[in-house]
C-alpha cells in the first residue's frame, strides 16, 4: 500500500559500533523518515532505507502472485466455480454465436452421412458430409479459480511480453 508505514527490519539489533537498546531484538523503528542530511538514511534509527520494508514487499514474487486474486473471482473458492452472473453467461453465449460458422459448416471428424466415421473413402466422406449443429446454447459455465495456475500464466505472459 502506498504510504503504508515501513518498519525497520534490521535483524542485528543495532548499528555497527552502537550498543543495542536494552532487551532489543532488533531495531524498534516503526516508520522510515528520511534524514535531513541523507534521504536514503532513516532519521529515527539511522538505518538505510533498504532495511525499511512494507509487509507486501517482504513477500517473495511467487508468494505475491499466489496471493493475487482477480476481482471477479468468488472469495474463498478455488478449483471449479460455477458462473452464475447473467452478464457473464450472456457474454459467453455471444462468443458461441459470434464464432459459429454458418456456411460450409462441416468437420471431417463427423464422418460420412451414409457410412459414419472412418467407414468409407475420403472422397465419399467429402461428398456426403454429416450434419453439424446449426448453433450452440450455453447451459452452464465453470471458471477455474487457481492462484497457482494464475501465477504461472502471469509469469509466462510477462516473459513473453519482454521478448
pLDDT one-digit tens code per residue, 9-47 = 775 544 444 444 444 456 778 888 889 989 888 998 888
Cell numbers 531484538 correspond to 25
Residue with the bigger pLDDT between 4 and 98: it is 98
- Whole-angstrom distance, CA of residue 161 vs CA of residue 29: 40
User: What pLDDT is stored for residue 21 in this prediction?
Assistant: 46
Lowest mean pLDDT among 4-13, 46-55, 102-111: 4-13
Helix, strand, or coil (residue 145)? strand
- Whole-angstrom distance, CA of residue 82 vs CA of residue 74: 10
Q: Which residues of 69-97 are buried (b: 16+ CB within 10 A; e: fewer)?
A: eeeebeeeeeeeeebeeeeeeeeeeeeee
Element (H, E) at 147: helix 147-162
- Whole-angstrom distance, CA of residue 76 vs CA of residue 72: 12
Task: Give the model's confidence band at 103: pLDDT under 50 very low, under 70 low, under 90 confident, else very high.
Answer: confident
Residue 101: CB partners within 8 Å, gap ≥ 6?
Answer: none
Mean pLDDT of the 109-120 span: 91
Q: Are 41 and 47 in contact (CB under 8 A)?
A: yes
User: What pLDDT is stored for residue 29 in this prediction?
Assistant: 84
The pTM (predicted TM-score) of the whole model is 0.49
pLDDT one-digit tens code per residue, 117-152 = 999 999 999 899 988 888 999 999 999 998 888 888
Residue with the bigger pLDDT between 13 and 111: it is 111
pLDDT one-digit tens code per residue, 59-81 = 666 666 666 677 788 888 889 99
Residue with the bigger pLDDT between 142 and 153: it is 142
Nearest to 139 by CA among 96, 101, 77: 96
Best mean pLDDT range from 26-40, 49-63, 88-102 = 88-102
Q: Are 32 and 8 in contact (CB under 8 A)?
A: yes
Nearest to 56 by CA among 18, 99, 2: 2
Amino acid at each position: 500500500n502506498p504510504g503504508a508505514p515501513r518498519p525497520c527490519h534490521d535483524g542485528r539489533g543495532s548499528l555497527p559500533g552502537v550498543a543495542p537498546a536494552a532487551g532489543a531484538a532488533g531495531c524498534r523503528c516503526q516508520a522510515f523518515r528520511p534524514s535531513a542530511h541523507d534521504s536514503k538514511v532513516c532519521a529515527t534509527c539511522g538505518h538505510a532505507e533498504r532495511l525499511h520494508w512494507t509487509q507486501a514487499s517482504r513477500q517473495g514474487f511467487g508468494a505475491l502472485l499466489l496471493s493475487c486474486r482477480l476481482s471477479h473471482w468468488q472469495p474463498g473458492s478455488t478449483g471449479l466455480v460455477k458462473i452464475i452472473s447473467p452478464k457473464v453467461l450472456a457474454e459467453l453465449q455471444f462468443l458461441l454465436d459470434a464464432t459459429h460458422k454458418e456456411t460450409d459448416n462441416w468437420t471431417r471428424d463427423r464422418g460420412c452421412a451414409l457410412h459414419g466415421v472412418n467407414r468409407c473413402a475420403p472422397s465419399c466422406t467429402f461428398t456426403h458430409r454429416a450434419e453439424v449443429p446449426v448453433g450452440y446454447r450455453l447451459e452452464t459455465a465453470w471458471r477455474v479459480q487457481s492462484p497457482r495456475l494464475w501465477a504461472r500464466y502471469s509469469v509466462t505472459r510477462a516473459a513473453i511480453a519482454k521478448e
